[in-house]
Structure 1
């Protein structure tokens, strides 16, 4: 790392130009070529996927997207001449728009089933040519605007459906900008210098600018969801600023200790830079671990997010030392530069709030550990009620026409109308059609079923489909129980030994299958990531207890994050504040949140414990190592945690429910991780464990590779805070130098 940092420092113009060329060139290419985002959602081996495949094969005319235009009479009924005239004229206009293949009007000969019993609500089904990926938001907005133009007086007109929600997504969000501004304020407070404040911001934004330009280009050669870019920004902003913060902080310490600008930059990259690489690699491992789930929808998200983290790592150890060369001594505030000029170098001494806090934890480890753990457990308790599923238009804001249309359909036709089951049966054998007819009759008499439409036969006669409407909403737990009962009892009892292939699909069934697939594979995924991270930490810190504690603490932070998410997004607590309504937690949310959070938590763990390990290697005094390690890193870890919390929280301000969920979940997890787990629980436990923290069986020590994220002994003696034991009373004295022979002995052990 030292050689890389030295080369980047001395060739800083070349490094800066290379990064700027990549930033501008890839940005231009992305704007010129555009993107080809698409969702490759496939659940091989599930009932819903089999139903979808059969429908796509036998009902090709229905392969396009569809939406509903909802009509509602504010007074009277929709048969009133004036309302009927306005509605039919509007529907005729919509039918003539580009990309509209067909409009099935409730006023048509077969439209009776499209009108509610009270005659006040009706819907027209619009069949749209192609899939969402083939359309632009403007194409859909033209349809919505044309329909909504008829809204007025006694006639209410809304549009709803997945394709409508696509058009309602905001084209641009300024939540990231708010997060960057908040990060800039914290950096200024932490550094006391406007110039130093810009370093982490420039490094993170350049790296993310390149990553988010590559992602749309990659979408042309592989399947990447449009949510990938937003998630990359969410994760990349947090880690990018934090990584640069760690290195700049170490650089400033070295400058104050009297090192030249070049040696300070090299030392910072060679110490904190190695910790950054290790932490970043852990994040990437956790993200790419999503491939182990075998769900294609997550592949593009994993690659995109890992790409963002990788570029922030690369920028931190190459672009940042180059920028440090340009900034020179100006990364220190004027007051710091003046003090050095007047009084000479000032090695870092533990002092201030974090020194006093570290000493308090040293004196009261049991009490503080119990209090911190109790608080985290209380926050995590709602996690026990977690219910996974898929949100839909019903979870949107009231300002959206898709939400209003959804509610009108639920009020007029029953809560289950928005989530029908599509039952597909293969009918290429004698007797199959008769079995499907019997099944339709049995389904209509099943408790929990509101209504069943007559079976439809495909053009080839090779399949039939039945549409079933539950009595409960798509997100109701009773709907899930109905699906299970249909698959396990009702359908098998009717099919019997006939051999007719029957599959239950539809958006609700697909969501349930998605949840089941992920829940079944989640333990394996978590196990693989935790074990890999555990082994890496064992190799770095030569300890079994520290990696075990870190893994358990990360899982505890994850539980607390889910506790908050369940309270807000599932139970609806403070829903008005966050602009959401209660519903299930997205099925893929636990996977992505775990991957991101587990990696990010390792950032703080590595930075905190590696500093403690430096002290342990030099002094072999666990109490002193833990106290000094926390005292020095406390301020920068708190600043990093505050930055990441505010960056993540800024995404709550957007309109997208999923990004709100990620923003709140990650913000709360980092808040708890940085200010409860790393600032209280971990150091308290390490004080309680004593020298056992650093124990590793000899045979294992000989087998494991030796990885290091720590500085050399010479660097340790020059830049670490100086302190030593002050006798048998257990106190420590800030500012007392470490005896040189102690460092020499520790060098021999390396």
Structure 2
């Protein structure tokens, strides 16, 4: 593989104008397709195989007016007033009349005729049913809804919104996180290279890759449903992986040029050696992300594949466009900011790679870890286990209005409903009969449900000659475990309900759907972990031609991801980061563990490949196992540190948003990357390898016959180049 990559890198270097032109054409084409298609991401989710999804599908066929998105409009007056008084009521009635004329509105409930006034008379609750799913409700319709309540506001009534769709529900993307991440990445690269050209090149290539990926995703969004979170994850990984992959290749090339190697030879060798590590690292990330497809939830499948595509584009750009740009840069890549020199041969020798110097911080740390290998390994493992303790109490769920800041209308609506009606009114359940039911039978069903200890209210919502619908309000909130227990209890005792109504019964609604998603994700985690770890084990075994290194890598990943889970639970679920991150303590987002497993596993394998490949390269040359650990770690430490800090900074930058979901994702990724890079890969891994010694490279005899050698370290490639130089 290293030989092919060498040829690819040198070809791109020599044909740099064609390569640059091709990538610019791809970018222009992607932008044109995205613009022409008019594609937009949306949050219309389907969860095949769940009872809540079957309920939604049944309603679409039989009562489509009740199968679309729903908005709860909350009208509230001060404590000294009542919504039934002439002034407020006139404003509310006028608003309801105007809401009924809003495009896409199917039905609007009358709070004065449907028990929609709170017992204290301060709040009126109105349900607006839309003709389409949440993602299909146009912004213009939501704007019209917001304008329609003007009479109520003029009458001194407070108006707030909640539900599956409401004015302001779509998160407006902000470029601030990306800009912060890029600025920090540039600073880190300047410190690493001390050169403007070298610092800017990985950022330039990564940005182009993100543009291509993002525009491609936008174009696809015109024909398939793509969740808005998919673009966020794709941008996170596209930027971080793109910068990191460029950094690894550029670092190798620059050091070689500083030592006197010809430019075209250096570019080819950098792509053939560091590029090989980049290929295996990227393939591991792509496999992990694509593995999200095994869960069987379409929006997560699309999210994983979108992010995998962004990483694939980053890989292709690192292997082709970066060598081309290095051709344009020439020896400017070695110009240091401190002197502004264009070093000649003697200056290159004087500025030999800092990574090779025994006085660097990385070299000192490597010596420390190898010298104190047992306590270093024990301390690192103990730290990760302690951080992982909170993960034992992880509670999965999807965000509700309770997780929003008080400045958000959904949070204010949630609080008003909870205070004046009860928390269960924020997430009612729907019981739907799969067949007609008589009014008397429905009445018996509502009576039986109302006697349940965890039910606040039950009422008939609608019926026709195909189905009957009962609206059930729990006493607990939509994310409380008591509500999940109620849903499971109703389903477990379904036969008794069906005997009362005389027809099959399904339990659905938004709250039941969230419960089903969390359960399905929890059930899928072991399968997903087995598939991803199994495939990655095969890939790492092929890369290093040994069994112990992949096993060590997987154990290290499990420790780092468990610690990241624990940190996330402590900060966001327990509320330790309430003031630090300006968040409301809430459940762990149900899909977060799965995408954390995929992404952190992939990124941890990145650092494993980069560190261990340098160790193996040294061991192959010297046959000194413990010394190879020290020297290889020293050579890798500087670039891995820079790469990890860049990833960490980009993930942290996404916490500068108001969306609690994005904050939790950014924090979790940042914690996972930081712990895995600095505690596991640069501390525990070299310590364990120093303890085990040469036995870490053990492999069965049949490996040499049946397992191909990809020459990840480029040993055979360098021998071929030396032989070619000698014969010349």
Deviation at 1:162, TM superposition (A): 2.0
**Gap change, CA 1:227 and 1:436, over 3 Å in 2:** same
Q: Distance in 2 between matches of 1:646 and 1:153?
A: 49
Structure 2: distance between partners of 1:479 and 1:134: 29
Residue correspondence of structure 1 range 206-285 to structure 2 within 5 A: 206-285=208-287
Aligned to 1:578, the other structure's residue is in SS state coil
* 3-state SS of paired residue (1:368): helix
**Aligned partners of 1:224 and 1:299 also within 8 Å:** no
Residue in structure 1 matched with residue 138 of structure 2 by the alignment? 136
Residue 356 of structure 1: aligned partner: 364
1:570-649 maps to which residues of 2 (within 5 A)? Answer: 570-649=573-652
Judged with a 3 Å threshold, the aligned counterparts in structure 2 of structure 1 residues 498 and 451 are, in CA distance, closer, same or farther, namely closer
Partner of residue 379, structure 1: 387
- Counterpart check, 1:50 vs 2:54: yes
Distance in 1, Cα, partners of 2:404 & 2:279: 40
Corresponding residue number in structure 2 for 1:658: 661
| Deviation of 1:233 (Å) | 0.2
Residue 100 of structure 1 pairs with residue 108 of structure 2: no
Q: What secondary structure does 1:157 align onto?
A: strand
SS of 1:55's partner is: helix
Residue aligning to 1:76: 81
* Structure 1 residue 152, shift from structure 2 partner: 6.5
The alpha-carbon deviation at position 408 of structure 1 amounts to 0.7
The corresponding residue for 2:678 is 675
Conserved 8 A contact 2:441-2:500:
no
Distance in structure 2 (CA, Å) of the matches to 1:167 and 1:266: 50
How far does the alpha carbon of each residue in 1:376-414 deviate from its partner, in whole angstroms, 9 at most, with x for none? 111111111111111122211211112111211111110
- Identify which range, 172-181 or 24-33, moves more after superposition: 24-33
Q: Does 1:127 align with 2:129?
A: yes
1:115 deviates by 0.2
- For 1:605 and 1:587, the matched residues in 2 are separated by 28
- TM-score, normalised by the number of residues in structure 2: 0.93
Contact (CA 8 Å) 1:148, 1:158: kept in 2 or not? no
Aligned 8 A contact 1:58 1:462 in 2: yes
Q: Deviations over 1:614-669 (max 9, x none)?
A: 01111111101110110011011011100000001111111222221211110010
Q: TM (normalized to structure 1)?
A: 0.91
Change (3 A) 1:404 1:354: same
Matched, 1:85 2:90: yes
Q: How far apart are the structure 2 equivalents of 1:399 and 1:602? A: 41
Deviation at 1:128, TM superposition (A): 2.7
State the alpha-carbon separation in 2 of the partners of residues 105 and 432 from structure 1: 25
Q: CA deviation at 1:676?
A: 0.9
How far apart in 1 are the matches of 2:565 and 2:153?
A: 41
Question: What does the per-residue CA deviation read over 1:693-719, in whole Å, with 9 as the maximum and x for residues that have no partner?
Answer: 100111244322322321235738999
Q: Structure 1 residues 142 and 716, CA, compared in 2 at 3 Å: closer, same or farther?
A: farther
Given that 2:396 and 2:589 are in contact with CA atoms closer than 8 Å, whether structure 1 keeps it comes out as: yes
* Residue in 1 that maps onto 2:331: 329
Equivalent in the alignment of 1:748:
none
Alpha carbons of structure 1 residues 550 and 212: separation in structure 2 relative to 1, 3 Å: same
C-alpha distance 106-343 of structure 1, shift in aligned 2 (>3 A): closer
State the match for 1:561 in structure 2: 564
C-alpha spacing 1:717/1:336, structure 2 compared with 1 (3 Å)? farther
Shift of 1:54: 2.1
CA distance in 1: counterparts of 2:335 and 2:220, whole angstroms: 42
Q: Which residue of 1 aligns with 2:201?
A: 199
Deviates more, 1:604-613 or 1:325-334: 325-334
Q: How does 1:105-504 map to 2 (within 5 A)?
A: 105-107=110-112, 110-111=113-114, 113-147=115-149, 150-151=152-153, 154-164=156-166, 167-334=169-336, 335=339, 340-343=344-347, 345=349, 347-348=352-353, 349-351=356-358, 352-428=360-436, 436-454=442-460, 456-458=462-464, 461-489=465-493, 491-495=494-498, 500-504=503-507
Please point out which of 64, 67, 72 is paired with 2:71. 67
- 1:102 Cα offset (Å): 3.6
Distance in 2 (alpha carbons) for counterparts of 1:470 and 1:517: 22
8 Å CA contact 2:250, 2:270 repeated in 1: yes
Is the Cα contact below 8 Å between 2:441 and 2:502 reproduced in 1?
no
> C-alpha separation between the residues in 2 aligned to 1:139 and 1:498?
38
Structure 2: how far apart are the matches of 1:575 and 1:137? 32
Give the structure 2 partner of residue 725 of structure 1. none
Say whether residues 1:17 and 2:21 are aligned partners: yes
The question of whether the paired residues in 1 share the 8 Å contact of 2:444 and 2:500 is answered with: no
Deviations 1:182-208 (A, max 9, x none): 111111111111111111001101111
Q: Indicate the SS of the match to 1:562.
A: helix
Q: CA RMSD in A?
A: 2.4
1:138-194 deviation per Cα after TM superposition (whole angstroms, max 9, x unaligned): 431332254367437852111222211664422434211111111111111111111
Q: Is the 8 A contact 1:626 1:687 kept in 2?
A: yes
User: What secondary structure does 1:44 align onto?
Assistant: coil
Q: Deviations over 1:224-260 (max 9, x none)?
A: 2232211100111111111101111001110111101
Q: Is the 8 A contact 1:79 1:119 kept in 2?
A: yes
Measure the CA separation in 1 of the matches of 2:13 and 2:151.
Answer: 62
Q: Is the 8 A contact 2:257 2:348 kept in 1?
A: no
- How far apart, in 2, do the equivalents of 1:208 and 1:710 lie? 29
Q: Tell me the SS of whatever aligns to 1:456.
A: strand
Q: Deviations over 1:260-295 (max 9, x none)?
A: 121111111111111111111111111111122222
Secondary structure at the counterpart of residue 349 of structure 2: coil
Q: Shift in Å at residue 452 of structure 1?
A: 0.8
Secondary structure of 1:652's counterpart equals coil
Indicate how the Cα distance of structure 1 residues 297 and 394 shifts in structure 2: closer, same or farther if over 3 A, else same: same
Q: Is this contact kept in 2: 1:65–1:132, CA < 8 A?
A: yes
SS class of match (2:278): helix
Contact 1:69 1:147 in 2 (8 A): no
Matched position secondary structure for 2:702: helix
Query: Is residue 103–residue 127 contact of structure 1 (8 Å, CA) maintained in 2?
Result: yes
Cα offset for 1:345?
2.7
Any idea what SS the aligned residue of 1:575 has? coil
